[in-house]
Amino acid sequence: IGFSMVLFFSSLFLKQNLRRILYIGLIFLFFFLDFIISYYKLNYLSILNEGVFAFIPWTNFYIFGLLFGDLISSWHKDNISRDLITSTIVGIGGIISFFIWVVFYSYSYYFTPHFIPYFMLTVGIFIILFSVCYYWIDIKGRVFYFQYSIIHWGKLTFSLYYIHFGLIALGILVFPMLIGEIYYFGFSIYEFIILIIIFFLSLEIFLRIWQRYNYFLGIEWFMNKISKKTLFLKKFS
C-alpha cells in the first residue's frame, strides 16, 4: 500500500497516456518478477509473492485500481452506455480466461492471488460489479439499504485493511469465551454467521465514532494531507 501510494502521488505529474503506460508496464513487470521467483524457486524472495502481506499480488491489484480509475475518469456522459458495456465484456472475458486456464491446468497453485488467471478472475468480478453498481446507482439513481455503509467503507479501504486484522484477532480471543468453545476446534456455521454479523456491526460502530474525529491518523487521513500538498506543487510546476 505504501509503495502504491507513493506511485499514485508521483504519477500525478505525468501526462495521462504516459501514466497509463506506466501502470500497465508495472503490472507486467511484477508478474514477470513473480514468474521468476516461482519458476526458479527463489525462496529468499518468496516474501514478495506469498503470505498475507505479499507485495506483488496486492500491489498489482492496487495499480490496476489506479489504471481503471484513470480510465473511467475520461468517460463522457454521451458514451457512458457504450463504456459500461465494454467494461462488462472485459470483465466477463477475464472470468472466462480464468476458467479456461483451470480446465487445462487444474492445480491448486493457480488459485493463489499472485497467479495471472486468478488476477484476471478477481479483476473481472470487480469490473462487472462496478459496472452494475455504476448503472443502477449513478445512472438510474437507485438507492438500497446498505448503500451508505458500503460507500463509507469504500472511502476508508486502506485503513480498514489494517483495522480488520485487529477485529479478527479480537473476535478469535473474545468470541470463544462467549460460546464456551475453543477457536482451534472450529466454529459451526451458525456461530460463524453470528461472528460475521458481530464483526460488521463492530466495524460500523467503530467507524461512526472515528468519523467524529475526522478519521484522525487513518491512512486516508494521511493521503488527504499529502494529496493537498502534491496538488499544490503540481499547480505551480
**Residue ending a domain, choose from 95, 127, 142:** 142
Contact 69, 46 (CB under 8 A): no
Which whole number is the average pLDDT over 46-75?
78
221 and 158 within one domain: yes
**Residue ending a domain, choose from 74, 95, 121:** 74
50 and 1 within one domain: yes
137 and 151 within one domain: no
Q: Which domain holds residue 42?
A: 1-74
**Residue ending a domain, choose from 24, 44, 74:** 74
227 and 153 within one domain: yes
Please give the model's pTM, rounded to 2 decimal places.
0.66
Supply the pLDDT for residue 89: 92
91 and 70 within one domain: no
The band of 179, judged by pLDDT with boundaries at 50, 70 and 90, is: low
Domain count, the chain: 3
Contact 67, 23 (CB under 8 A): yes
129 and 64 within one domain: no
42 and 28 within one domain: yes
Supply the pLDDT for residue 92: 92
Please say if the pLDDT value at position 51 is more than 70. no
List, for residues 99-112, the tens digit of each pLDDT value.
887 777 766 554 55
Torsional class of 214: left (φ above 0), alpha (ψ -120 to 50), beta (otherwise) = left
Cell numbers at residue 29, please? Answer: 513487470
32 and 105 within one domain: no
CA distances (Å), origin 130, targets 5, 13, 68, 85, 136: 22, 27, 11, 12, 10
Please say if the pLDDT value at position 125 is more than 80. yes
Supply the pLDDT for residue 184: 47
List, for residues 33-44, the tens digit of each pLDDT value.
887 877 777 777
